[in-house]
Each structure stands twice: as C-alpha cells, then as structure tokens.
A and B are shown apart, each in its own frame.
Chain A
Amino acid sequence: MEETPIPEIRVHPIRNGTVIDHITAGQALNVLNILNIPNPSSGVVSIIINAPSVHGIKDVVKIEGRELNVEEVDRISLIAPKATINIIRNFEVSGKTHVHIPEKVSGVVKCINPNCISNSNEPVTSRFTVKPDGRKITLRCSYCERTISEDIGNHLL
C-alpha cells in the first residue's frame, strides 16, 4: 500500500524572511533563543516541531521580515549542524545555504566546568574549538579543555 506523501511545509508561505529548515528535532526552541525571539519587534514566527522528513524528524522555523547574520548562523550550526537557511524574498527562495560550522566560537557557550577560569570574573569571553563529529558537534574549552557534546543548547550564553 502506498503512503500519502507528507506535505513538506505545513504553514503558509512567507513574503520576505528566513526559513530555517532541517533543524535537529527538539532544537527549534533553542534556535529561537539564539535569535532572541520572541521580542516585540520579531514579527511573525512559525515553528514546526517533529515534522517528518526523508531523514527522520526535524524542526522548522520561519521568521517573517528578517534575514540572519553570519554570527547567528554560526551559533545555530552548533545545535543544528544539518540546518539549511533559506532566504525568502517576495515569496521566492532567493538563497539557500547550509549552516557553516565555525572552527572556533567565542562568547556563545558557557563552559560546563564550574572550576574553569572562564567562569570566574576574569576579563575574557568563553572560547571553544569546534569539532564536527558525524551528526554531532563537540566543543572543547580553550581554557580548561573540558568538552561539551551533549545538550549544547542548554549551555548557550
């Protein structure tokens, strides 16, 4: 018996803005957190959680009237390394990029080691080297060398 194909997008198309697709399932709310959403000027935001796709389930976030900057995309890559960023202009996809996983991130994640010098009142920002590891990402603290690979979303600054 043939299954009915599942419609890919369940909310209405947007005129201008960004569709972040293929977000690791469960990470949509962390993506919003990175983008400082909701806030009063954030415009209409739609979220799809646990949408079926060819590679299993995924989350999707659609933001009207906003295009993301490089830094925001770098941050998203840490919790959703397979995400794609679709820029929509006048109902058309005008650009589609995969997130880029940076080699280092600064001031994005807090070290999980309570005894790490970066968690004291020193004039430094946290800094990690990023290691892609299959579908996962490992962060290594540049100060204490402790690694974070689980629940990176919970340690975002």
Chain B
Amino acid sequence: MTFKDLHIISMKSFSRDMIDHILDTAEKLEPIASSKSKSDLLKGKVLAVMFFEPSTRTRMSFETAMMRLGGDVLSLGSVDASSIAKGETLADTIRVVEGYSNAIVLRHNKEGAAQLASEFSSVPIINAGDGAGHHPTQTFLDLYTIRRESHLDGLKIALAGDLKYGRTVHSLCYALSLYGAEITLVSPKELRMPAEIIDDLKSHNIKVRETDSIEEAISDVDVLYATRIQKERFPDPAEYRKVANSLQITPELLEKAKPELKVMHPLPRTNEIDPRVDGTPHACYFRQSFYGVPVRMALLALVMGALK
C-alpha cells in the first residue's frame, strides 16, 4: 500500500485497509497537531492551497496541518484578483501551480474539478470540495472522530438533517458501509436521502432505517450526526421553522439517549444543536473540527511520501 503521489479525489477509491492506515497515521500525528511536540517532517515541502470558493475553516485546517509538520503554504489569493478572473482554465492554472508545489489542495465550485485537476497535475491533488461533489477529507475526519470518540466497528449511528443535498453524509454513509454500521436516517420528507444511495447501502448488507422523528432514533445509537438544514431549501419560511425545530438537539432530548452517545456536526451550525448541549459529555463537534488537523497532516505526509 503506497500513498505517495496518490490523488485524493473521492472516498470511493479508498478501501477499508487504506482508510484504517490513514486513521492510524492521524492518531500517531495527533500530539503534533495539538502542539505537544514539534515536527519537521515536511520541511522544505510546499503545499499550494487553491480555493476558488471560500471555506475558511477547511483552508485554515489544511494550512495548520502543513505548518505543524514544518512545511510551507502557498496560497492562491482571492480568485477575483487572479488570472482565473481573466478566463484562464483550471487546467492551465494547475499546470502552472504544480511547478511551485509538492501537493495541491483544491476547492472549486464545479463538480469534477478535482478529477480534472488530477489529469493535469504531476503532484498529488487533494479535493477539498468540488461543487455538490466530493469532500473526502471531511469524511476522513468524521471517521477519525467516530473512532476516537466512540468506535467504528459495530457502530449504530443516526444521521439527522438535510440528507438529500448534504454531500458529506453521502460519502460518510459509503465509508461506514465498509465498517458494517447500522444507520438510521432522520430527515423531513423534503430532504430524504436519495434512493440510489440507500439502495447502495443495502447492497452492502447495511441495516438502514428511515424516520422523521429524532426522538425515535436517538435512544439506542452511539453517534448522532447532525447536519445543517439550509433555509433556502424551503420555499415557505414557516415550513423551514417547523422542520428546524422538530430536528433540534436539546439537553431534554438527550436524556433519552445512551450516556455514551456522541453528538457530531460538521459546523457551522445554525440552530440544529441547542448551545446548552455544548457543556454536556455528548458534545464532540468542536473536537471533531480539531481532528481535521491530524487527519489532514496524515494525508499530506502520506501523499508527499514523508510517511509510508
């Protein structure tokens, strides 16, 4: 198994062995991520960070990961000010930037952009989100969080919120199917998980059930993964409020849960999680966001060949 020069485009190209190796590596690097020790593992290496649409957290998480490993970061400035605004193709931009760097992190508004970039780049491309497409590093950090805070084998998980458009839950479901999880899907009928994804899960012998009641789902799961419900999905604001309130996670609701239940959320949240949950032992969304750093450190070190 070699990760050197591997493009990280979609979760679908990762086997369970590969995922386990990435998570193991992240665990080894976690003390460096939290600055308990220092590293110059990627000293002399340059990471190009190209974000064609803003996502401050993902960008900062990659930049932190690179810096904690002693590497340098080269940022594409704001898109308006660059040649992209002058009509340069992504293919050309990539062919220029690969000459400056040892790996490229790409976020783009068009689906398939990372795949295209990988066809023009001799240095590894890491997809940090392409339109409504993939965002594999988010899935790796979600899996890492589940492994650190709960357990991946024999996991019972409820996914709640916008399951229709939420790309992160789609790839998370795919990855969990490699670990034989039992999945409960909680969503309003307007935002249900696409049927082809459910069929896919069932064909992997995954137990899937669907409900619109978070109360019903919460009592026997190990992890509750909440996602953001976007107002603009609802033509009627009253309908949005009804849905948003019915899926809100509160301390009262959590009284019905197992004591070891962990609540996850990719952040930013709107009102899916009552702030009073933050102080309970169930909350792990801020640690989840921190775990993005060791996970991205692991990916960078592996694709740049600094670790095997």
Q: CB distance B111 to A113 under 8 Å? A: yes
Q: Could you say which residues of chain B place their CB within 8 Å of the CB of A123?
A: 89, 91
Q: Does A115 contact B (CB under 8 A)?
A: yes
Q: Could you say which residues of chain B place their CB within 8 Å of the CB of A36?
A: none
Q: CB distance B89 to A143 under 8 Å? A: no
Chain A: number of interface residues, binned into ranges: 10 to 19
| Cβ-defined partner of B115 (8 Å) among A120, A142, A146 | A142
Q: Does B116 contact A (CB under 8 A)?
A: yes
Q: Could you say which residues of chain B place their CB within 8 Å of the CB of A122?
A: 89-91, 116
In terms of DSSP, what is the predominant structure of the interface of chain A? loop
Would you list which residues of chain A between 36 and 94 have a CB under 8 Å from chain B?
none
Q: CB distance A144 to B91 under 8 Å? A: no
Q: A124-B119, A145-B133 are in contact. Are A116 and B89 (CB under 8 A)?
A: no
Q: CB distance A143 to B116 under 8 Å? A: yes
Would you list which residues of chain A between 92 and 131 have a CB under 8 Å from chain B?
113, 115-118, 120-124
Q: Could you say which residues of chain A place their CB within 8 Å of the CB of B115?
A: 117, 142-143
Q: Does B229 contact A (CB under 8 A)?
A: no
Q: Does B110 contact A (CB under 8 A)?
A: yes
Q: Could you say which residues of chain B place their CB within 8 Å of the CB of A116?
A: 110-112
Q: Considering the chains assembled together, what is the distance between the CA atoms of A122 and B91 in angstroms?
A: 7
Q: Could you say which residues of chain B place their CB within 8 Å of the CB of A143?
A: 111-112, 115-116
Q: CB distance A115 to B89 under 8 Å? A: no
Q: Does A141 contact B (CB under 8 A)?
A: yes
Q: Does B132 contact A (CB under 8 A)?
A: yes
Would you list which residues of chain B between 96 and 146 have a CB under 8 Å from chain A?
108-113, 115-116, 119, 130-133
CB distance from B200 to the nearest CB of A (A): 12
Q: Could you say which residues of chain B place their CB within 8 Å of the CB of A121?
A: 87, 89
Q: Considering the chains assembled together, what is the distance between the CA atoms of A143 and B132 in angstroms?
A: 12
Chain B: number of interface residues, binned into ranges: 10 to 19
Q: Considering the chains assembled together, what is the distance between the CA atoms of A122 and B109 in angstroms?
A: 14
Q: CB distance B91 to A115 under 8 Å? A: no
CB distance from B94 to the nearest CB of A (A): 10
Q: CB distance B132 to A117 under 8 Å? A: no
Contact with A along B58-96 (1 / 0, CB 8 A): 000000000000000000000000000001011100000
CB distance from A29 to the nearest CB of B (A): 30
Q: Considering the chains assembled together, what is the distance between the CA atoms of A144 and B114 in angstroms?
A: 9
Q: Considering the chains assembled together, what is the distance between the CA atoms of A141 and B110 in angstroms?
A: 13
Q: CB distance B89 to A144 under 8 Å? A: no
Q: A122-B90, A124-B91, A144-B111 are in contact. Are A115 and B116 (CB under 8 A)?
A: no
Q: Considering the chains assembled together, what is the distance between the CA atoms of A21 and B2 in angstroms?
A: 50
Q: CB distance B116 to A124 under 8 Å? A: yes
Q: CB distance A118 to B89 under 8 Å? A: no
Q: Considering the chains assembled together, what is the distance between the CA atoms of A113 and B89 in angstroms?
A: 19
Q: Considering the chains assembled together, what is the distance between the CA atoms of A116 and B133 in angstroms?
A: 9
Q: Considering the chains assembled together, what is the distance between the CA atoms of A142 and B90 in angstroms?
A: 17
Q: Considering the chains assembled together, what is the distance between the CA atoms of A120 and B116 in angstroms?
A: 11
Ranked nearest first, the 10 interchain pairs of A and B with the lowest CB-CB distance are A143-B112, A144-B111, A144-B112, A117-B112, A117-B110, A117-B113, A117-B116, A122-B89, A143-B115, A123-B91
Contacts A116-B110, A117-B112, A143-B111 known; list 13 others, CB within 8 Å: A113-B111, A116-B111, A117-B110, A118-B112, A120-B90, A121-B87, A122-B89, A122-B91, A124-B91, A142-B112, A143-B116, A144-B111, A144-B112
Sample of 9 A–B contacts (CB below 8 Å): A117-B108, A117-B116, A118-B112, A121-B89, A122-B89, A122-B90, A142-B112, A143-B115, A144-B133
